[in-house]
Structure formats: structure tokens, C-alpha cells
Amino acid sequence: MMKTCMRKVLSRSGWLRAANAAFLGLACAVPPALAQDYPTRAVKIVVPFAPGGSADVFGRYIAQRLGESLGHAFIVENKPGGGSVIGTDGVAKSAPDGYTLLVMSNTHTVNESLIPNKPFVLMRDFVPVAPINYSDLVLVAKPGLAANNVKELIAAAKARPGGMSYASSGPGTPYHMAGELFKAMAGVSIVHIPYRGSAGARTDVLGGQLEMMFDAIPTMSEQIKAGKVKAIATTGKQRSSVLPNVPTVNESGVPGYEATIWLGVMAPKGTPPAIVDKLNAEIAKITGNPEVRKAWTAQGTTAMTMGVAEFTRYMNDDITKWERIVKISGAKVD
């Protein structure tokens, strides 16, 4: 960068050349210096979901570790609402200086096609920073539901079209889209009941007010083991190591079915690349740590580590994938 700036200066003529060269040389050196010193104060990380879900739990973990490694607090602020749109829009409008970050999930890549009239466009108004992790989901049902596996659930749903319901943490979330994909591929009609966060949805399924929901395995596995809900199936390509006795949806009568939740970090467009690269490297140290990977695997979560360019490609591909699924499923936001 320094050489590029100096070449521009040296192409000029006259007595200002030397003075301009010295000035621009200092100017060109500012971004790396800023990145080296960053952060010099507290950083806010917005989680556009309610407390208690995967984005909140792992966002706080990343924030704590970043604070420890970079010497300034990374403060998590939950701003749920609108299927993540409200909190995300606030970050899009914030200063692109590295002091406001976003914890995002594939809710955001889904919403690019599910909610086209948002006040922001994800890949236009944000820059990808780094992925965090991904996990399979588990379809759970209240203990009293007269279905113990996917085939029985499909049969029950077909016997009562529109008479059963599933909860989710809101429109466009992985829990919602897992349900819509299941409905489309299984050919059943089940009513979607959106909540403002996964905690409320989970509480009502545990309490028996709603029949079922798709939830993240790390969040729901202990409730399953305690017998508070029954596991119908998991959503990955293979069985979960945390719930090895629970079959996948794919092997239970809906071939080709797969749904996951993944998390990442983004920053407002215009955030200096040197700061983005520094954050990417620091997050990669966290997710690449063998002890972290081991602990997350035991919970049913797989750590993700990618450079900025690779993560950008991953996000673009995910937007394209969910655009197809939204069309196939007919999912809509009321």
C-alpha cells in the first residue's frame, strides 16, 4: 500500500514532490497502524436475537475470548426482533470503524430471499469477518404427542392437515426454515408459530403448549436426556455424536433432508480491511484452538475457521442455496 501511494506521488512534478511524498507516506501508513493498535476502547457486538439461543451463547463466548486476547472489553448487546432485521439494521447504520460488530447466522442468508424488502442488503451493507461454528438441529416433540418417529409424525400430520403446530424462534431463522423444508419434503401441513426468540418457543414445547420444534442440539440435548421432550430425529447428514441413538430425518423417510444452524461475525461495509483481517485472525485462533474444538464437539457443535475471502464465498453460496429452498418450500413472512 505504501509503494502504491508513493508511485502516485512520484509521478508528479515540481517542488511539491518531496513534501507530498513525505505526507502521503505517513497517510498510507495509517491503516496498518490503526489495525495494530485496534482496539483502543470497548467494542460492541450486537446479537440480533433474544438471549439464550445459540447465537447469544456462542457470541458471548467469542466476545469474552476476544476481550482477553485484545485487551479491551467486547460487550454483547441483544437486539431481537423482526427475524433479526431490527438489530442487524442498527449495525448496518453504525460507523464502519470496527467498534460495532454483528453476530449473524444463516437466518441472515435466508432473509435475503425470504424478506426482500429489508432496509439493508447483506452483502452490500456488510463485510464478512469470520465464521464461528455450525451444528445440526433436532426435531423434538412434547412427551404426550402420539408420534415417536418421523413416519408416525408424518402420518399424524396428514391425518390432521393444519391441525398440528411447530414453534420457531422467528421468521427466517434456521428453526423456521428447517420446519418449512420438512413440510415441503414430507408433503404435510403443519402450522408455524413464530416467537421473538428460541427461549419462548422452547418453553412452550417443554410445557406441552405446542407439539414440536426444531432446535439446536447443544441447546436441547439435556432436555432430551432428562425426558422433558422426546427426540424424533436430527437434521444432519449423519447421526449426531451427542444423540447417537436418534436417527436422522434423512434416514427416517425423508431422503435428502438436511438443515443446520451456523454462526459468524460481520462488520459494517467500509470497515478498514486491516481491522477485518485482524478480527478474522483472532477469531480463527479461538475456533482453531484444539481444546475449544474438543469442548464444542462434545456439545454437538463443529468449529469453523475460514479466511475472509473464503467466508465471503461461503456466504454467497448459502444465499443462493436458501433462495432455492425458499422457492421450493413456499415459505413466507406474514
More reliable by pLDDT, 273 or 24: 273
pLDDT surpassing 80 at residue 221 = yes
Q: State the DSSP H helix or E strand holding residue 153, giving kind and residue range, or none if neither.
A: helix 150-159
pLDDT at 307: 98
User: Residues 88-118: pLDDT tens digits?
Assistant: 999 999 999 999 999 999 999 999 999 989 9
The CA distance from 212 to 240, in Å, is: 19
The arrangement of secondary structure in 136-252, i.e. its CATH architecture, is 3-Layer(aba) Sandwich (3.40)
Q: What is the mean pLDDT of residues 274-300?
A: 97
Assign 191 to helix, strand or coil.
strand
Among 81-85, 223-227, 263-267, 289-293, the least confident range? 81-85
pTM of the model: 0.83
pLDDT at residue 86 greater than cutoff 50: yes
Burial class (CB in 10 A: 0-12, 13-18, 19+), 265: buried
pLDDT-based confidence at residue 208 (cuts at 50, 70, 90):
very high
Measured in residues, the chain has a length of: 334
Interatomic CA distance for residues 319 and 180, integer angstroms? 17
Q: What is the pLDDT of residue 71?
A: 96
Q: Which CATH superfamily is domain 41-134+263-329 in?
A: Bordetella uptake gene, domain 1 (3.40.190.150)
Q: What is the DSSP letter of 247?
A: P
Residue 28 banded pLDDT, cuts 50, 70, 90? very low
How buried is 70 (Cβ within 10 angstroms: 0-12 exposed, 13-18 middle, 19+ buried)? Answer: middle
Burial annotation 220-250 (CB, 10 A radius, 16+ → b, else e): bbebbeeebbbbbbbbbeebbebbeebbbbb
Q: Retrieve residue 272's grid coordinates.
A: 478498514
Confirm whether 41-134+263-329 and 136-252 share one CATH topology: yes
Contact (CB, 8 A) for 76 and 47: yes
Coil, strand, or helix at residue 257?
coil
For the stretch 141-151, pLDDT in tens is 999 999 999 99
Domain edges within the chain: 41-134+263-329, 136-252
- According to DSSP, residue 88 is labeled H
Contacts of 282 (CB under 8 A, 6+ apart): 66, 69, 70
pLDDT digits (tens, 9 = 90+) for 222-281: 999 999 999 999 999 999 999 999 999 999 999 999 999 999 999 999 999 999 999 999
Residue 39, preceding bond cis, omega within 30 degrees? yes
3-state per-residue secondary structure call for 57-84: HHHHHHHHHHHHHHCCCEEEEECCCCCC
